[in-house]
């Protein structure tokens, strides 16, 4: 009876100790699972040599893996190797995922970033093996470089090839091509030709080789304007003077040089207009005009003389006189002026006086001519 009572007491003690706190000072080894209906706590390290599974089964389930104290608090996590999500990595410090990496708030990368290629070792830089596409606005805090070394100037962009915009673009400041940047907002500086493959327009004024004009629609040039093809001026054209407001008019303060023909309306084309000043001629003495029935047939009332200093006149030149020379006698008229030789104008003089013979002497006669 005593033996039976001892056995019953030992079993009861074991059952009581299983449902109360127990302290074991040595290792506990079990060949099966350890199951707890409450929390398992450890004041030291918790070491596992297999998988860590959460969710209530021995099979991995879609559930959370939380680190922290009580609900609402957080704790840091540290991995001495790499982290693989859906794909294992053996590289310490790396994160590999076989799907998208989604960040719901701002994030930053302390070193370089590589997409589709190995990561760059330059802190703050990004390497891409394909296109960079931004579905919304984007900005660069520093400089931007494409196909060349990065620029260290904040707000600047360096390109080693063409800049192509598939749609409209604008520059908040100035634009500079092949030269140092201009500091004037809205201006453009170029060190070579400006070539437009299609139509172009300027909302304000346009200046070449001089300071920009402030008059909208006007153009200022410091040198020649050369047109290799047809040109059209909708309003008036002014050369060496203020602009004319008369559409179709041409105003100039200097000479007009035309290398080809000049044709007015539908008339005969003119290929040269000569304004050479005067030519020197010595008319002979002219007898008084006869007083016969015909009135102008008396011998001695007409005479011929020529000048040979009419520059560029030729046999095909039409000569015109542009005024009376000094020392002219009003009784004398020039009946004809024409050219039959180089630099020569032939004159026919006539005395209209019926009583007085006239000898004018040497004259400088003003003329102009066309060819």
Kindly state the average pLDDT of the residues 280-292.
80
In degrees and rounded to multiples of 5, residue 130 shows phi and psi of -145, -165
pLDDT of residue 212: 66
Instruction: Look at residue 124 and tell me if it is in a domain.
Output: no
363 found inside a domain: yes
Q: Note whether residue 107 is domain-resident.
A: no
Do residue 347 and residue 295 come from a single domain? yes
Give the pTM.
0.35
- When divided into structural domains, the chain yields a total of 2
Establish if 314 belongs to a structural domain.
yes
Domain check: are 240 and 294 in the same one?
no
Q: Which two tokens stand for residue 73?
A: 């608090």
Apex 195 CA angle, 194 and 201, nearest 5: 85
**Residues 285 and 330 both lie in one domain:** yes
Question: Is position 59 within any domain?
Answer: no
The verdict on residue 302 lying in a domain is yes
Q: Per the domain annotation, does 66 fall within a domain?
A: no
The reply to whether 252 falls in a domain is yes
**Domain of 245, in residue numbers:** 226-256
Most confident of 135-139, 264-268, 341-345: 341-345
Interval 172-203: pLDDT, tens: 777 777 777 666 776 777 777 777 777 777 77
State whether 239 and 298 are in the same domain: no
Distance between CA atoms of residues 161 and 180, nearest Å: 17
Rounded Cα–Cα distance for residues 320 and 338 (Å): 8
Pair (249, 299) in one structural domain = no
Q: What percent of the chain has pLDDT over 90?
A: 7
Q: Please determine, for residue 59, whether its predicted confidence score (pLDDT) is greater than 70.
A: no
Model confidence at 128: pLDDT above 60: yes
- pLDDT tens-digit series, residues 7-51: 445 444 444 444 456 677 777 777 777 777 777 777 766 666 665
Q: How many residues does this entry show for the chain?
A: 371
């Amino acid at each position: 009876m005593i033996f039976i009572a001892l056995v019953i007491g030992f079993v009861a003690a074991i059952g009581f100790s299983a449902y109360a706190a127990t302290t074991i000072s040595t290792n506990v080894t079990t060949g099966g699972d350890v199951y707890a209906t409450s929390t398992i706590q450890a004041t030291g390290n918790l070491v596992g040599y297999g998988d860590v599974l959460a969710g209530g089964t021995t099979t991995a389930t879609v559930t959370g893996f939380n680190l922290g104290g009580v609900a609402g608090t957080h704790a840091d996590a540290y991995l001495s190797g790499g982290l693989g999500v859906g794909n294992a990595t053996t590289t310490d410090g790396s994160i590999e995922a076989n799907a998208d990496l989604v960040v719901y708030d701002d994030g930053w990368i302390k070193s370089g970033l590589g997409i589709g290629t190995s990561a760059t070792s330059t802190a703050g830089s990004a390497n891409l093996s394909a296109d960079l596409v931004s579905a919304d606005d984007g900005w660069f805090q520093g400089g931007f470089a494409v196909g060349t070394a990065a620029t260290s100037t904040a707000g600047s962009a360096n390109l080693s090839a063409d800049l192509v915009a598939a749609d409209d673009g604008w520059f908040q400041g100035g634009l500079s091509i092949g030269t140092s940047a201009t500091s004037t907002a809205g201006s453009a500086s170029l060190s070579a030709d400006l070539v437009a493959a299609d139509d172009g327009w300027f909302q304000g004024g346009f200046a070449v080789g001089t300071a920009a004009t402030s008059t909208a629609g006007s153009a200022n040039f410091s040198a020649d304007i050369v047109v290799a093809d047809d040109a059209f001026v909708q309003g008036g054209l002014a050369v060496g003077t203020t602009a004319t407001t008369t559409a179709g008019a041409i105003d100039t303060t200097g000479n007009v040089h035309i290398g080809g023909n000049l044709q007015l309306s539908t008339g005969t084309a003119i290929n040269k207009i000569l304004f050479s000043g005067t030519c020197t001629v010595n008319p002979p003495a002219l007898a008084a005009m006869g007083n016969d029935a015909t009135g102008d047939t008396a011998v001695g009332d007409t005479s011929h003389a020529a000048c040979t200093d009419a520059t560029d006149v030729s046999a095909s030149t039409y000569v015109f006189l542009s005024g009376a020379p000094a020392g002219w006698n009003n009784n004398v008229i020039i009946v004809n002026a024409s050219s039959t030789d180089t630099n020569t104008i032939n004159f026919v003089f006539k005395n209209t006086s019926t009583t007085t013979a006239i000898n004018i002497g040497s004259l400088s006669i003003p003329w102009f001519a066309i060819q």
